[in-house]
């Protein structure tokens, strides 16, 4: 069998007829082996050594790395961290410098108390360490931190986080030596395995309880962090500082172009919201698509479960397909998307239908320092610091005053911890807001002289999907009624949050609650009095103990009298109804089962 092929003869390509056997034989013939010997070493060589480190600064981060009274700034390069202070003279003064991190610094962020926003690391339902500590109000319930200016043994408000090229996380802050000089405190967390380009994106959530690092190729790491209170306690006790509680790995379909944490709405302030801008090719022979993905969860939720779902997300407008910067805003779960040709705002990012709005803004113009043929681009941003007057206290309760809303429940909760009693005000509203507020009496000077004033701090805010008609506090948590459902939530001291325990479905909303001998007395709108053991029952259900045989439209209840010695009868509960009538209900002293209450007298 023969065929024609082109062959190179004497520097020219010619067509020849070749036999198949000859062609196979030629291809299998031995070829001369190349000389394996190494090239001859040159007579001269060049040895290099870094004499002057690159002065290029890649990040400039304002932070309180010593105390809240110092206006410190971190200048971060590839291999150095320079801490400087903005002095009262408006000049930058060097404080301390650190080199020698080994691998190159890939990214940097600030962890802790955000002085520009009053946001505190940690989510504590109630600050139980100091009755009137005056902590700044936070979107997450405030945790307690110790200012190093007053307690040298405690942590500063903020620490610096570095991600190195090998994936290690490095945490740094400054402390004062006994001789009054400063030194760096360094804590390093090694990544279990090497992941290329991890830390290319780095973000810390506003409560500083979570941190994320990712690579452009779609590898995401979520760091669960300890609360600032726990970190400070450990540091004071044994001098150790290890913020990372555990880490979780996740792959994302597509390229991660950008990511950050968002601020939730005030009514959803218990949420942690992570935003990812992901680019992926969804159809063959089509342009890649940019999508906005959001993952939300609460403190303490199982992160593995949170990220199980592969989300589709929402497509971004064409002009913001690849935003240069993401700037989280503190309203409507919104953020600025800063792109090459403009700035847009995205509102309600957590909803299924986010709103996109283009802003009229002037793009940066060329200056005498401009170098290049293209137009300048936005490259960095920072949030300006705002002065927190009187540690963010107020003569009004933050979280109230929404249009159309009204207060339904009001109760003074005496919370006992470690033998000390702390007083809080519990407030609930028609629109489903639940607030825990502390207050302090102070003296304010006026033209007429000193005047007594009350200052309020909103410690905790929760939003539920229904009117909260009543609320009461017990030894370790709260009992409140949402629509017709009675909820019991307990303060989890480990997670520093209210944890749902049990529920009970009432016949109508509870207009008033009280706790007697460990039982909940629920005065309902149309079904009179129900007595419930909120700690008994199977699973998440409460146990009904007593109920009124008559369905009354009641508005108020009051205990009169007391237990009579030698009698099984308890005190009389006086009920008032909408028809100006009164009824006295007598409950057996023994709570041995579901029994009707007995009417001892009634006034119509």
Amino acid 591: pLDDT: 47
* Spatial separation of the C-alpha atoms in residues 463 and 482, rounded to whole Å: 11
For residues 162 and 288, membership in a common domain is answered with no
Amino acid 563: pLDDT: 55
- If one compares 376 and 83, the residue with the highest pLDDT of the two is 83
For residues 199 and 231, membership in a common domain is answered with yes
For residues 242 and 305, membership in a common domain is answered with no
* Residue 482: CB atoms within 10 Å: 21
Among all chains, which residue has been given the structure tokens 């100091």? Answer: 130
pLDDT tens digits along 403-417: 778 899 999 998 887
Amino acid 576: pLDDT: 85
Residues in the chain: 604
pLDDT tens digits along 343-364: 889 988 887 788 888 887 676 7
Q: Which of 226, 251, 276 is the last residue of a domain?
A: 251
For residues 275 and 210, membership in a common domain is answered with no
Query: Is residue 149 situated within a structural domain?
Result: no
Query: Is residue 28 situated within a structural domain?
Result: no
Confidence bin at 87 (pLDDT 50/70/90) = confident
Residue 150 tokens, joined: 């007053």
Query: Is residue 398 situated within a structural domain?
Result: no
Residue 531 tokens, joined: 């007595």
Does residue 243 come out as left (phi exceeding 0), alpha (psi in the -120 to 50 range) or beta?
alpha
Nearest by Cα to 474 from 462, 457, 486, 465: 486
The region of weakest confidence among 230-234, 390-394, 487-491, 500-504 is 390-394
For residues 348 and 432, membership in a common domain is answered with no
Q: What is the mean pLDDT of residues 268-282?
A: 88
* Spatial separation of the C-alpha atoms in residues 422 and 547, rounded to whole Å: 33
* Spatial separation of the C-alpha atoms in residues 417 and 186, rounded to whole Å: 34
Q: Which domain holds residue 526?
A: 407-603
Query: Is residue 318 situated within a structural domain?
Result: yes
Total of domains in the chain = 3
For residues 588 and 445, membership in a common domain is answered with yes
pLDDT tens digits along 474-498: 888 899 999 999 999 987 755 567 8
Q: What is the mean pLDDT of residues 385-401?
A: 56
For residues 287 and 226, membership in a common domain is answered with no
Query: Is residue 15 situated within a structural domain?
Result: no
Name residues whose C-beta falls within 8 Å of residue 514's C-beta, 6 or more positions apart in sequence.
Answer: 472, 520, 521, 557, 559
For residues 335 and 466, membership in a common domain is answered with no
Residue 306 tokens, joined: 């949170």
For residues 353 and 425, membership in a common domain is answered with no
For residues 207 and 350, membership in a common domain is answered with no
* Spatial separation of the C-alpha atoms in residues 590 and 331, rounded to whole Å: 52
Confidence bin at 140 (pLDDT 50/70/90) = very low
pLDDT at 56 over 60: yes
For residues 295 and 233, membership in a common domain is answered with no
CATH number of the domain within which 568 lies = 2.130.10.10
Nearest by Cα to 138 from 72, 226, 205: 205
Q: What is the mean pLDDT of residues 123-136?
A: 28
Which long-range contacts link 534-541 to residues 24+ away (Cβ below 8 Å)? 534/479, 534/486, 534/488, 534/501, 534/502, 534/504, 535/488, 535/502, 537/502, 537/504, 540/500, 540/501, 540/502, 540/503, 541/502, 541/503, 541/504
For residues 539 and 450, membership in a common domain is answered with yes
pLDDT at 394 over 60: no
* Cα distances (angstroms) measured from residue 550 to each of 515, 526, 554, 590, 604: 22, 10, 11, 21, 14
Residue 367 tokens, joined: 């200056």
Query: Is residue 574 situated within a structural domain?
Result: yes
Amino acid 602: pLDDT: 58
- If one compares 72 and 604, the residue with the highest pLDDT of the two is 72
- If one compares 314 and 561, the residue with the highest pLDDT of the two is 314
């Amino acid at each position: 069998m023969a065929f024609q092929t082109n062959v190179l003869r004497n520097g020219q390509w010619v067509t020849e007829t070749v036999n198949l056997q000859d062609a196979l034989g030629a291809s299998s013939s031995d070829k001369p082996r190349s000389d394996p010997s190494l090239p001859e070493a040159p007579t001269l060589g060049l040895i290099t050594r870094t004499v002057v480190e690159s002065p290029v600064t890649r990040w400039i981060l304002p932070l309180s790395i010593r105390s809240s009274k110092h206006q410190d700034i971190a200048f971060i390069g590839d291999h150095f961290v320079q801490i400087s202070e903005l002095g009262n003279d408006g000049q930058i003064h060097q404080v301390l410098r650190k080199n020698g991190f080994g691998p190159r610094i890939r990214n940097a962020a600030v962890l802790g108390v955000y002085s520009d926003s009053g946001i505190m690391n940690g989510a504590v339902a109630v600050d139980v360490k100091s009755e009137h500590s005056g902590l700044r109000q936070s979107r997450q319930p405030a945790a307690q931190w110790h200012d190093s200016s007053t307690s040298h043994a405690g942590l500063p408000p903020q620490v610096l986080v570095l991600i190195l090229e090998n994936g290690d996380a490095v945490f740094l802050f400054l402390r004062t030596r006994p001789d009054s000089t400063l030194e760096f405190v360094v804590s390093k967390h090694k990544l279990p395995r090497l992941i290329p380009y991890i830390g290319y994106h780095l973000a810390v959530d506003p409560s500083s309880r979570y941190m994320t690092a990712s690579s452009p190729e779609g590898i995401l790491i979520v760091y669960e962090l300890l609360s600032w209170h726990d970190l400070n306690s450990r540091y004071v006790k044994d001098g150790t500082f290890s913020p990372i509680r555990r880490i979780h790995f996740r792959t994302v379909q597509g390229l991660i172009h950008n990511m950050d944490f968002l601020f939730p709405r005030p009514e959803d302030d218990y949420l942690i919201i992570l935003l990812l801008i992901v680019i992926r090719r969804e159809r063959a022979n089509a342009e890649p698509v940019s999508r906005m993905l959001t993952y939300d969860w609460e403190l303490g939720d199982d992160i593995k479960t949170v990220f199980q779902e592969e989300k589709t997300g929402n497509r971004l407008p064409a002009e913001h397909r690849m935003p240069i910067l993401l700037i989280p805003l503190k309203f409507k779960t919104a953020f600025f998307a800063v792109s090459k040709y403009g700035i847009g705002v995205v509102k309600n990012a957590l909803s299924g239908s986010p709103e996109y709005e283009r802003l009229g803004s002037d793009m940066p113009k060329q200056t005498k320092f401009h170098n290049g043929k293209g137009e300048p681009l936005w490259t960095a941003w920072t949030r300006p610091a705002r002065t927190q007057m009187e540690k963010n206290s107020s003569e009004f309760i933050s979280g109230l005053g929404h249009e159309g809303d009204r207060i339904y429940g009001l109760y003074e909760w005496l919370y006992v911890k470690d033998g000390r009693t702390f007083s809080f005000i519990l407030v609930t509203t028609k629109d489903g807001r639940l607030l825990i507020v502390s207050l302090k009496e102070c003296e304010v000077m006026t033209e007429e002289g000193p005047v007594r004033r009350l200052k309020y701090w909103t410690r905790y805010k929760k939003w539920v999907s229904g009117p909260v008609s009543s609320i009461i506090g017990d030894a370790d948590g709260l009992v409140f009624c949402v629509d017709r459902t009675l909820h019991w939530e307990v303060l989890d001291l480990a997670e520093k949050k209210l944890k749902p325990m049990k529920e009970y479905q009432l016949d109508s909303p509870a207009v008033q609650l009280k706790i007697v001998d460990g039982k909940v007395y629920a005065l309902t709108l149309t079904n009179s009095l129900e007595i419930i053991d909120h700690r008994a029952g199977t699973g998440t259900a409460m146990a009904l103990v007593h109920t009124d045989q008559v369905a009354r439209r009641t508005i108020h209840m009051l205990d009169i009298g007391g237990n009579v010695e030698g009698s099984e009868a308890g005190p009389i509960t006086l009920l008032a109804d909408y028809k100006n009538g009164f009824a006295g209900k007598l409950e057996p002293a023994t709570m041995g089962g579901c029994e009707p209450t007995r009417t001892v007298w009634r006034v119509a």
